[in-house]
């Protein structure tokens, strides 16, 4: 069955000392929380992966990377491969985040290639999908989401599909302080799950966790997570404060 998940995406924040302080604070906070019903994931910048994977050995959280190359290896300066992440005991990896799509022009084809490489290395992909404000206002948001899901992940076998996580992140709500209402978020989550049912089966759909990302915080997390098809959150800004992040973890 699908798992409740709270994943913290630190993005490009914190120097090394600050990252060390944050992960220690998360460890301390988690020590007092029963997390048997939720998988906690911390996704730091690349330079801090070893710091966080070392800390995870004595704590109840998993480690995720924020991106991966869509190449296996070779002369790709600045890129990081799935095999490198695997060697560092990384459990999850975010792919297709709206910031990667916007600023680095990643396509659905690129994202599909990244997912293939992660699956081959037994790393769970967290594939992000979402629409812009213009696309929503024009009524195109369902078509946008469908295309991202179908082209990004529906090439997988049913077995591999069950190993993936999808995160719905309305672009207009990321870092803006705006949040989709719980009804708006549920509508899209249900739509995504129904796409999985149509492509594979209900059994497969019930194995895939679908997260909400977009200004999720301690104040709104409980309402969002109460919805039938919302299995947790991909947390940005609120993951940079241990107390806020753990409060979201406790929202289930």
* Catalytic residue ranges: 97, 169
Q: How far apart are CA 149 and CA 151, in angstroms?
A: 6
CA angle, residues 108, 1, 34, in degrees to nearest 5: 105
Structure tokens at 129: 């999908």
CB-based contacts of 28: which residues, under 8 Å, 6+ apart?
242
| Rounded CA separation 244/102 (Å) | 28
How far, in Å, CA of 201 to CA of 194, rounded? 9
Select from 164, 19, 224, 174 the least CA-distant residue to 248: 224
The residues, ordered by sequence, that sit 6+ positions from 7 with a Cβ below 8 Å of its Cβ are 40, 41, 42, 43, 64, 92, 94, 126, 167, 211, 232, 233, 234, 235
Which helix (DSSP H) or strand (DSSP E) does residue 117 occupy? helix 108-120
The answer to whether 233 touches 221, Cβ cutoff 8 Å, is yes
What's phi and psi for 22, nearest 5 deg?
A: -65, -45
Q: Which of 92, 103, 111 is nearest to 43 (CA)?
A: 92
């Amino acid at each position: 069955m699908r798992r409740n998940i709270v994943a913290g995406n630190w993005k490009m924040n914190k120097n090394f000392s600050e990252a060390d302080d944050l992960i220690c604070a998360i460890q301390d906070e988690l020590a007092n929380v029963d997390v048997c019903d939720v998988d906690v994931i911390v996704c730091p910048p690349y330079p801090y992966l070893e710091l966080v994977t070392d800390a995870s050995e004595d704590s109840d959280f998993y480690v995720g990377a924020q991106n991966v190359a869509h190449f296996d290896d070779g002369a790709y300066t600045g890129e990081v491969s799935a095999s490198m992440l695997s060697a560092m005991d990384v459990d999850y990896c975010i792919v297709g985040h709206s910031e990667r799509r916007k600023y680095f022009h990643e396509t659905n084809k690129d994202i599909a290639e990244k997912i293939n490489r992660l699956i081959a290395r037994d790393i769970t992909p967290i594939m992000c999908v979402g629409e812009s404000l213009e696309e929503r206002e024009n009524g195109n948001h369902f078509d946008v989401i469908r295309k991202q899901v179908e082209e990004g992940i529906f090439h997988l076998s049913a077995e591999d599909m069950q190993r993936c996580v999808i995160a719905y992140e309305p672009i207009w709500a990321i870092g803006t302080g705006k949040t989709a209402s719980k009804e708006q978020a549920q509508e899209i989550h249900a739509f995504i799950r129904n796409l999985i049912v149509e492509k594979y089966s209900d059994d497969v759909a019930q194995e895939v966790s679908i997260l909400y990302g977009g200004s999720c915080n301690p104040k709104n997390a409980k309402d969002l997570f109460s919805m039938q098809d919302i299995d947790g959150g991909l947390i940005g800004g609120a993951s940079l404060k241990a107390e806020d992040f753990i409060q979201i973890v406790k929202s289930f």
